[in-house]
Structure 1
Amino acid sequence: MKIAQRVSLKDYNTFGIEAIARQFVQIRQEQDLEELFAQQVFEKEQLLFLGGGSNMLFVHDYEGLVVHMNMRGITHEIKEDGVVVLAKAGELWNDVVNYCVAHGFGGIENLSLIPGTAGAAPVQNIGAYGVELKDVFQSCKAFDIANGIFTTFDKNDCAFGYRESIFKGKYKGRYLITEINLLLSRQSEVNTRYGAIQEELERRRITSPTIRDVAEVVSAIRVEKLPDPSTIGNAGSFFKNPIVSVDTFNRLVSNFVDIVYFPFGQNQFKLAAGWLIEKCGWKGKTVGNTGTWKNQALVLVNHGNSTGLEIYELSEKIIESVQERFGITLEREVNVIA
C-alpha cells in the first residue's frame, strides 16, 4: 500500500470534474486500514472516503487524503429464510445486482443500474422504483478510524431514512464500510407497483414477470431517462424529492393540479423534484459548460469542460427558482466537496 501525492480525481468521479487530491490511497484489503491507523494517518489528515464517486461534486481541489475503497468480492450463503449475499465495499453496485439476478436471488432487481459501489449504498440508503436498500439490508462491517477496530452494524443500528443513514449523519467521517450483507429471497417475488415498471412490462406483453424481467425493464427505463456517465458527466439525481406535510401538499395541489407526487408514510407526501424543476423551465437547458439533462430535469450534467463550481452555481439557481415558484426548498442529494 502506497500513499500517492497530487493525484487527479477526474477518473474517480462520475461528473468527470478535474480536481487534485493532495494525497490518495487505495484500500484493497482490511489490513490496509489497520496499517494506516497504526501510522496515525487518520489522526493527521483531513479525510475523504471515496467509492465510485457517483454522488460527489468536487468544487475545488482536495487538500487532504482521499481514501479510495477498492476491496472486491461477492459471495452468498443459502439460509432457511433466504440467501445472504456478501459484497465487498469496492464492488460496483450494479455488479452486485447482476450477480443476484443471475443466481435467481430476488429483492434488489428494482435497484438496477444505480451508479456507485456496494460500500456507499448504505450511506445513502439508495433507492429507486419502489425499493430502498433498507428493505433487504441485513448488516455491514465497518472500520472505526477513531479506535482502529472493526464493528458490525445491523439494520436497526443504521437509522435508515429517505436517502439517509447514521453514516451520513451521526457517524459521518468516522466509519469506513468494508462489506455489506443483504438478505434476499430465493423466490421470484417481484415489486412492480411503480407505474413506469408496469407500463413497460405491459408494453413488452409480460404478464408474469421474473426478477430478470424487472431488472431489464428498470435498466431500460433508466437508460431512456438518465445519461450514461461514461459519455456525459453526471451524478444521477442531483436533488432529493422533497417530503412535505398535508397542509403544504394541499396548498400546492390547489395551485398546481398536475403536480406529481407519491404518498409517503402517514400524513406526508413526496413530491417529484424533477417535475418542480421542469416547471421552472430548466429541463434540457444549457448554461455555459453545464446544464440539465434533456430527458430528466433532476439530472445536472457536465457538457465536457465544466468545473465543479459551475455545476454548483447552476444548482443554486435551480434551488432559488423552485423556492420562488413553489415555496419548496430543494435539498441536494449529491455531496458537495468544497
Structure 2
Amino acid sequence: MSVPEISAASSAPWFAAAYPLRAHNTFGFDVRARLACRVTSEADLLDAVRDPRAQDMATLVLGGGSNVVFTRDFDGLVLLMSLAGKRCVREDSEAWYVEAAAGENWHDFVAWTLEAGMPGLENLALIPGTVGAAPIQNIGAYGLEMAERCATVRAVELATGEAVEFDAAACEFGYRDSFFKRAGRDRFVITAVTFRLPKAWQPNARYADLARELARNAAQSGHAAADTITARAVFDAVVAVRRAKLPDPLELGNAGSFFKNPVIEAAQFDALRAREPEIVSYAQADGRVKLAAGWMIDRCGWKGRALRGAAVHDRQALVLVNRDNATGADILELAQAIRSDVLARFGVELEQEPVCL
C-alpha cells in the first residue's frame, strides 16, 4: 500500500444523515450520528470536514469503535475510517518497516505480518480495533506496547490539510497514552502507521498466563517448551488466552479492558501491601509499581455482578459488558460504583480507558 497523498480535488465524499452507529461501537449501543461520512482516502477526509453540511459540527473519528462509550446520539459528524492497505516499505539488516493504513483491522494486520515472515507484534494479537487507533491508546498486552514497535505515524492536521509525519518520540507515548490522546485528538486524524519489526526476534513470554499456555501447547505436542516458542506459537497462545478470558464483542458488547492498571509510588505500594499482602503487582523501571486493577475489582466482589443491563464479566473483572440492552449511562454508573469501592478499600483511584460521549 502507498499511503495516498492529499489531493487538491476529489469527488464529493459519501454522506448519510441520522446514521446508525450500533455496528460501529463494540458495546453495541443503539445510537445515531447527526451526519456520517465514510473515509477511504486523505482527500475524502479533507473534503468531509470542509463540506458545508459539516460546518460548525463536532467531529468524531471512528475506527472499530472499541474504545468509546456513547451515552447519547452524537450531534455532529462521524468519520468512519476505512483507509485500507498494508505493505513492507523497506528493510535493512536489522528490521522490516511495515506500513498499514488507519482503517485496517488490527488483529488481521498482526496475522498478516506473521504470514509474511515479519514477527514482532504477536503479543498484541486479538486486540479489537483498527491500526489507526493503536497509537492513540498505545495499546499493549502481555509484556509489549505498540510504542516499542512504532517507527512513524502519519496524520492529517485538519486545520491546515497538511500531512504530518510523527516519529515515535514526537508521539509522546505513555502507558495507554499518547500525544494524539491528549493534545492531538481534535487537531489530527491518523491515516497510517509504520512499524519497525526487528529481525533479531526473541519471544516475549514472561507473563504467567502466556507462559502456561505455551507450556501446555508444548506438552501436547511432545516437545520441550523452549523448542516450540516461535512467533506463531506466541500468537496462538495469546489468542487462546484472550478468548478464554475475554468476551467476543460480536456476542457480548464490551470495550475490552475498561480500566487502566494504576501505577503508584513505591512508598504507597509498601503501605498497601502491608494491608493486602496478596495484592498483584508489577515493578516498573522507574521504581513505581503497577497494580492489577482486575484483581482489586475482583476482591471488591464485583466480578459477575450486574447493574441493570450492565455487568462485570464473570471471567475478567476488568471488562464491563452490555449484558441486556444497557445504555452508556448504565455502563458509566457501574464503573463509578466499582471505582468507589476500589478507592474505599485500596486507596487507589481507577481511571477508565474508553472515551465517553
Q: Please, what TM-score do these two structures have when normalized by structure 2?
A: 0.92
Indicate which of 198, 202, 210 corresponds to 2:215: 202
Residue 292 of structure 2 corresponds to residue 280 of structure 1? no
CA contact (8 A) 1:123 1:167 kept: yes
Name the counterpart of 1:326: 346
Give unmatched runs, 5+ long, in structure 1. none
Quick one: which amino acid aligns to residue 210 of structure 2?
I
Matches within 5 A, 1:49-128: 49-80=61-92, 81-128=94-141
**Paired residue type of 1:291:** A
Alpha-carbon offset, residue 34 of structure 1: 2.6
Within the candidate set 148, 169, 172, 1:159 is matched to 172
Question: Quick check: 1:4 aligned with 2:23?
Answer: no
Is it true that 1:291 corresponds to 2:303 in the alignment?
no
Name the CA distance, whole Å, in 1 between partners of 2:162 and 2:55: 15
**1:73-118: CA deviation from partner (whole Å, max 9, x where unpaired):** 1111341121111110000100110011111212110000000000
Q: CA RMSD in A?
A: 1.3
Greater Cα shift, 22-31 or 33-42: 33-42
User: 1:304, CA displacement in angstroms?
Assistant: 3.2
Q: Deviations over 1:207-254 (max 9, x none)?
A: 231100000000100000100001000000000000000111001100
For 2:181, the equivalent position in structure 1 comes to 168
8 Å contact from structure 1 (residues 201, 207) kept in 2 = no
- 1:8-47 correspondence to structure 2 within 5 Å: 8-39=20-51, 44-47=56-59
Q: How many equivalent pairs are there?
A: 337
Within 2, Cα distance between the matches of 1:325 and 1:188?
42
SS of match in other structure, 1:207: helix
- What per-residue deviation string (whole Å, max 9, x for no partner) do you get for residues 27-46 of structure 1? 01111123235436775211
Q: Is the 8 A contact 1:104 1:211 kept in 2?
A: no
Q: Aligned residue for 1:261? A: 281
Cα distance in 2, alignment partners of residues 37 and 298 from structure 1: 36
Q: Which residue of 1 aligns with 2:194?
A: 181
For residues 239 and 313 of structure 1, the distance between their equivalents in structure 2, rounded to whole angstroms, comes to 14
Assess if the C-alpha contact under 8 Å between 1:107 and 1:184 holds in 2: yes
1:246 and 1:189 map into 2 onto residues whose CA distance is: 30
1:2 CA drift (Å): 2.0
In the alignment, which residue of structure 1 is the partner of 2:330?
310
Question: Contact conserved, 1:110 with 1:128, CA < 8 A, in 2?
Answer: yes
**Cα distance change on mapping 1:187 and 1:292 into 2, 3 Å:** same
Aligned CA distance change for structure 1 residues 3 and 191 (closer, same or farther; 3 Å): same
Q: Quote the Cα distance in structure 2 between the aligned partners of 1:135 and 1:242.
A: 20
**Contact between 1:232 and 1:304, CA under 8 Å: does it hold in 2?**
no
Q: What secondary structure sits across from 1:86 in the alignment?
A: strand
Aligned partner (choices 232, 238, 250) of residue 258 of structure 2 = 238
Question: Cα gap change, 1:269/1:241 in structure 2, threshold over 3 Å: closer, same or farther?
Answer: same
Q: Which amino acid letter does the alignment assign opposite residue 98 of structure 1?
A: A
Instruction: Pick from 153, 163, 172 the counterpart of residue 150 of structure 1.
Output: 163
Which range is displaced more, 266-275 or 199-208? 199-208
Q: Indicate the SS of the match to 1:59.
A: coil
Which residue type is aligned with residue 60 of structure 2?
Answer: L
What is the percent sequence identity of the aligned residues?
A: 40
Deviation (angstroms), 1:55: 0.6
Question: Using the alignment, how far apart are the partners of 2:210 and 2:14 within structure 1?
Answer: 46
* Rounded Cα–Cα distance in structure 2 between residues aligned with 1:329 and 1:38: 41
Q: What letter matches 2:153 in structure 1? A: C
Counterpart position of 2:206: 193
CA contact (8 A) 1:71 1:89 kept: yes
Relative contact order, CA 8 A, sep 6+: which one is greater? 1
1:336 and 2:356 correspond: yes
- Distance in 2 of aligned mates of 1:330 and 1:143: 33
Q: Do 1:3 and 1:23's aligned partners in 2 also have CA atoms closer than 8 Å?
A: yes
For 1:156, what is the secondary structure of its paired residue?
coil
Structure 1 distance, partners of 2:149, 2:43, is: 28
Residues 105/114 of structure 1: CA separation in 2 closer, same or farther (3 Å cut): same
**1:106–1:189 CA contact under 8 A, matched in 2:** no
- Cα displacement (A) at 1:145: 0.6
| TM-superposed deviation, 1:190 | 1.5
**Equivalent pair of 1:51/1:90 in contact (CA under 8 Å):** yes
Checking the alignment, whether the CA contact within 8 Å between 1:104 and 1:188 is kept in structure 2 is no
The residue matched to 2:120 in structure 1 has which SS?
Answer: coil
> In the aligned structure 1, how far is the partner of 2:49 from the partner of 2:308?
44
Mapped to 2, the partners of 1:221 and 1:42 lie a distance apart of: 43
SS of 1:234's equivalent in the other structure is: strand
